[in-house]
Structure formats: structure tokens, C-alpha cells
Amino acid sequence: MNIFSRTVIWSLMATVITFGSLLAPSVQAEEAKPGKWDAPWRVLLRAGVIEGWTQGTSADRRDLIMPEYNEVHRKWKEMGVKMIGTIDDHLTQAGTPGSRHYGWYELYEIDDLATVGKMLDLIRRSQLGKVRLDKYMRYDALIGTPQIEAEKVFDLKID
């Protein structure tokens, strides 16, 4: 490495250090804002039936799939997940979900981001030893924080 290369490298390092020092106070102030990365988080699970559901029999849905569905939700509750509400889109669609790909939505509050992966993992494994929900339903998750200002307007108080 020649002297010119060393000079350029040292110059760049000094610039990065100086630039970093100038940014550091604002970055630290931004990180210090309460609630930005703190629990609770909200998780919107979007769900819909897939081919296994539509090709299954009524008996399979009643005797295998729905008991598994209920057991998964019981396990989520045992994990400390708090359900805030649900929306079933049956008023505006029938049959297998179309362009939206989802037929219902479940809104939860969680205290640990790792909980989302654990929740979805329960769908991938049978809880009752008979069927896996991911053969009959698809789920995905949107994760965020409460929108505090809107909730204040509506006096929404989630414990």
C-alpha cells in the first residue's frame, strides 16, 4: 500500500469518526424515546383456508381441524398472548379467499417479539397428534406497536 492509499484511508476514517460523533447525540436521543422499541407489541394475524380445508369433509373439519384450531388458540393463551379482537370476512366473500388471500384476522398483544415465531410454529406442528393446521389454513403476521393517539381519542384501554 503506498502513502497515497494510507492517507486516503486515514482521511476517510477521520471523516467517519467525526461524522459519527456529530450523529451520535441525535441517535442516542432517538433511542431514548420511551416506547419506540418497548413492549407491548401488536400482532395482526391474517388467516385463510387453503386447499386442504376446501377438499376436506365436513367430518374432518368438525372432528379434526377445528379441535386443532381451538387447541392452538388455547396454547397461545397459555403463552400469555392476549387476544384483542377478530374480524371474520364472511360478510363480503364466500368460498376460498380470493385476491386478499385471507378470510379472517386476529389481533393480539404480546410482550416478546419471539412470541410471534412461537405462535406460528404451533400451526406447523400438531398439538393433538392428528393434523397440522398449516395443511388447512395459511397464516402470516404483521407486527407493530399500538397507535397511541388514535386509541386515546377512542378512550381505548388495553391492559
Model confidence pLDDT, tens digit, residues 72-110: 999 999 999 999 999 998 888 777 666 678 999 999 999
Do 2 and 67 sit in the same domain of this protein? no
Distance in angstroms (rounded) separating the CA atoms of residues 126 and 113: 23
Do 25 and 82 sit in the same domain of this protein? no
Calculate Rg over the CA atoms of the chain.
24
Do 7 and 65 sit in the same domain of this protein? no
> For position 31, what pLDDT does the model report?
53
Q: 104-139: per-residue pLDDT in tens? A: 999 999 999 999 999 999 999 999 999 999 999 999
For residue 54, give its domain range.
41-153
Confidence of residue 37 (pLDDT cuts 50, 70, 90): confident
Q: Are 42 and 143 in contact (CB under 8 A)?
A: yes
Do 23 and 52 sit in the same domain of this protein? no
The CATH code of the domain that includes 70 is 3.30.70.1030
Domain count, the chain: 2
> For position 72, what pLDDT does the model report?
98
Helical H segments across 33-63, by residue range: 51-55, 58-60
Do 22 and 63 sit in the same domain of this protein? no
Cell of residue 22, nine digits: 456529530
110 burial (CB, 10 Å; 0-12 / 13-18 / 19+) is: buried
Do 45 and 7 sit in the same domain of this protein? no
36, pLDDT greater than 60: yes
63, pLDDT greater than 60: yes
